[in-house]
A = this chain, B = another copy of it.
Amino acid sequence: MRKVFQADLQQIGEELIQMSQLVASAMERAFESFRNADIELAQEVIAEDAKIDFLQTQLDERAIDVLALQGPVASDLRMIVGSLRMSASLERMGDLARHVAQLARLRFPQQVVPASVAPIFAEMAELDIAIAQKLGMLLDTRDLAIAREIIELNAKINKLHASIFKVVASADWDQSAPTTADVTLTSRYLERFGDHGVSVARKVSYLVTGEWEPVSEAF
């Protein structure tokens, strides 16, 4: 029984890593479709979000089976419950990547955002992708230095998110209202993606140390 159980835990861990990788790739491709007004790529990302949703369902069913059949306690139980939380955050990150692709599709053949703010979003997306990639490594190695890196990357995203509102409020912002709305939503999606990444990183830290990591980012 014990051996089966460890195999289940390992399987769940691997599925979380796989979800992180899919989510990293989803954001990478979503932002590429957004940056290049590439509607075909956008459609692909939108369609492929179902894979991430499916993985979540599969992982959650496995976790519930383990709870029912193995009755885990203590740290194993927290790991299973934590996995349910992490899979929910990762699924949500997939949704946010999809939202970015949906904006690209909505505005095609136009660009969603003007050239003046494109570099800020490119930087945010790059940080988001790095966060999702590092989540895979963190889940694999349990090296908490990676959790701290994720928190730092997210702090940078928060600063860039705030800078978008400064740009929008500045005197030289001469974009249309729908573009302002799109810029606001894009910034919000990219910011939320990072936040969910931090949730996962903090959950891993908690599972490893038994304590919530102090979150050093300034909110």
Contact = CB atoms under 8 A, between A and B. Distances in A.
Contacts of A184: 180-181, 184-185
A192 B181 CA distance: 16
Contacts of A55: none
Chain copies in the assembled complex? 2
A183 B185 CA distance: 11
A168 interface: yes
A156 interface: no
Q: Is the interface of A mostly helix, strand, loop or mixed?
A: helix
A200 to B, nearest CB: 13
Interface string A175-201: 101101101110010000000000000
A88 interface: yes
A183 B173 CA distance: 17
A7 to B, nearest CB: 20
B78 A64 contact: yes
A177 B169 contact: yes
A67 interface: yes
A109 interface: no
Given A181-B184, A184-B185, A64 B88 contact: no
B173 A168 contact: no
A68 B64 contact: no
30 contacts: A64-B77, A64-B78, A67-B77, A68-B74, A68-B77, A71-B71, A81-B84, A84-B84, A84-B85, A85-B88, A88-B88, A165-B178, A168-B177, A168-B178, A168-B180, A168-B181, A169-B178, A169-B181, A173-B177, A175-B177, A177-B177, A177-B180, A180-B180, A180-B181, A180-B184, A181-B181, A181-B183, A181-B184, A185-B188, A188-B188
